[in-house]
Amino acid sequence: MIDLILVGYGKMGKMIESIIDPNDFRVTGKFDVSNPVSENLKDKPNVAIEFSTPASVIGNIEFLASRGVNVVCGTTGWYDKAESVKAIVEKYGTGFVYASNFSIGVNIFFRIVKEAAKLLDKYPGYSIDIEETHHTQKLDKPSGTAIRIADYLIESIRRKNKFSSDEPSPEEDSINIVSKRIENVVGNHKVVFESNADEITLEHNAKSRIGFAEGALLAAKFIHGKKGFYRFEDIFTSI
Ligand SMILES: NC(=O)c1ccc[n+]([C@@H]2O[C@H](COP(=O)([O-])OP(=O)(O)OC[C@H]3O[C@@H](n4cnc5c(N)ncnc54)[C@H](O)[C@@H]3O)[C@@H](O)[C@H]2O)c1
């Protein structure tokens, strides 16, 4: 049995709670903006699942690590601070696993994109674009998942070195990410390779938030009793 707290009790916190198997997890606390974990944590849980906001996530991670709590972090929009978060986790000797996207389907999609990138490296006639669409309440832009896709493409395609997201860039070595915000879209990512002759589209479409919640709970089982800083996409096939 894993004692679990939910830090951030919005759409994702509630979805996770709704699918928890009581044979595996006991929810011992739920924290939100009106009930901050740093002020109200009483009993130490085994694992915290953190889905809050880009503005609050780092403070929550630091507080939880300082209390010796292992963390599954789903909040996006903080990856420019990944090195300092890693240092926090190492300082307190806790366990931490994060993902821009906990759905197994997206993690399979990442592997497919990686393979496609190796092929596309050999065919310079193809342009490469990413499009991501999410609901209108999403705070960060582009999505963490779109940034990961861009990273994978840049890793293998030598003619691409960066991505641009605010304005389409005319620079040949840049991958453009177009972000769209449309009511009720859970999460859609497309990678489009286009030549004069044809167009190849790879697409992942999340039908609901269940996939993210299932992945986050898998990650909670993985990180229970472990130390170290992990990215879910590196470890998901082993769990
Ligand atoms: N990694 C993934 O698989 C995945 C999937 C979906 C969403 N997300 C990300 O997770 C985050 C949350 O998404 P959501 O759809 O649940 O958002 P949401 O807006 O529905 O919920 C966020 C919650 O965080 C709470 N919050 C604000 N400040 C807080 C604080 N200091 N401590 C604790 N809680 C606080 C808010 O009150 C709110 O209830 C976003 O960053 C989103 O991009 C990640």
Q: What is the pLDDT of residues 99-123, one digit of tens each?
A: 989 999 999 999 999 999 999 999 9
Given a cut of 90, is residue 130 above it in pLDDT? Answer: yes
For residue 187, CA distances in Å to 56, 142, 229 come to: 22, 12, 26
Q: Decide if 224 is catalytic.
A: no
Spans of all domains in the chain: 2-102+210-238, 104-206
Q: Which atom of ligand 1 is nearest to the CA of 54?
A: 41
pLDDT tens digit sequence for 175-218: 999 999 999 999 999 999 999 999 999 999 999 999 999 999 99
Whole-angstrom Cα distance, residue 229 to residue 86? Answer: 6
Residue of minimum CA distance from atom 21 in ligand 1: 10
Average of per-residue pLDDT across 156-172: 90
Q: Can you list the pairs that 233-237 forms with residues at least 24 positions away whose Cβ atoms lie under 8 Å?
A: 233/99, 233/107, 233/110, 233/148, 235/97, 236/104, 236/107
From 3.30.360.10, 1.10.10.10, 3.40.50.150, 3.10.270.10, which CATH number describes the 104-206 domain? 3.30.360.10
Q: Which atom of ligand 1 is nearest to the CA of 9?
A: 39
Residue 107 Cβ contacting ligand 1 at under 6 Å = no
Question: What is the distance, to the nearest Å, from the Cα of residue 44 to the centroid of all Cα atoms in its chain?
Answer: 25
228 Rama class: left (phi>0) / alpha (psi -120 to 50) / beta: left
Given a cut of 90, is residue 239 above it in pLDDT? Answer: no
Q: Decide if 135 is catalytic.
A: no
Q: What pLDDT band is residue 168 in, cutting at 50, 70 and 90?
A: confident
80 secondary structure, DSSP code: G
Residue 63 Cβ contacting ligand 1 at under 6 Å = no
Given a cut of 90, is residue 238 above it in pLDDT? Answer: no
Check 11, 14, 138, 190 and give the catalytic one: 138
Q: What percent of the chain has pLDDT over 90?
A: 92
Check 134, 160, 189, 204 and give the catalytic one: 134
Ligand 1 geometric centre to CA of 102 (Å): 14
Q: What pLDDT band is residue 25 in, cutting at 50, 70 and 90?
A: very high
Given a cut of 90, is residue 171 above it in pLDDT? Answer: no
Q: Which atom of ligand 1 is nearest to the CA of 77?
A: 41
Question: Helical H runs in the chain?
Answer: 11-19, 37-40, 57-66, 82-92, 104-120, 144-156, 210-223, 232-235
Least confident segment among 26-40, 158-172, 217-231: 158-172
pLDDT tens digit sequence for 27-49: 999 999 999 999 999 999 999 99
Whole-angstrom Cα distance, residue 121 to residue 197? Answer: 17
Q: What pLDDT band is residue 166 in, cutting at 50, 70 and 90?
A: confident
Probe residue for ligand 1, chosen from 52, 98, 104, 184 as the CB with the greatest number of ligand atoms within 8 Å: 52
Strand order in the sheet with 70-73: 25-31, 2-7, 47-50, 70-73, 95-98, 228-231
Whole-angstrom Cα distance, residue 43 to residue 28? Answer: 8
The pLDDT of residue 133 is 97
What SS3 class is residue 35? strand
C-beta of residue 109 within 8 angstroms of C-beta of residue 88: no
> What is the CATH number assigned to the segment(s) 2-102+210-238?
3.40.50.720
The pLDDT of residue 37 is 97
Ligand 1 geometric centre to CA of 202 (Å): 27
Residue of minimum CA distance from atom 30 in ligand 1: 33
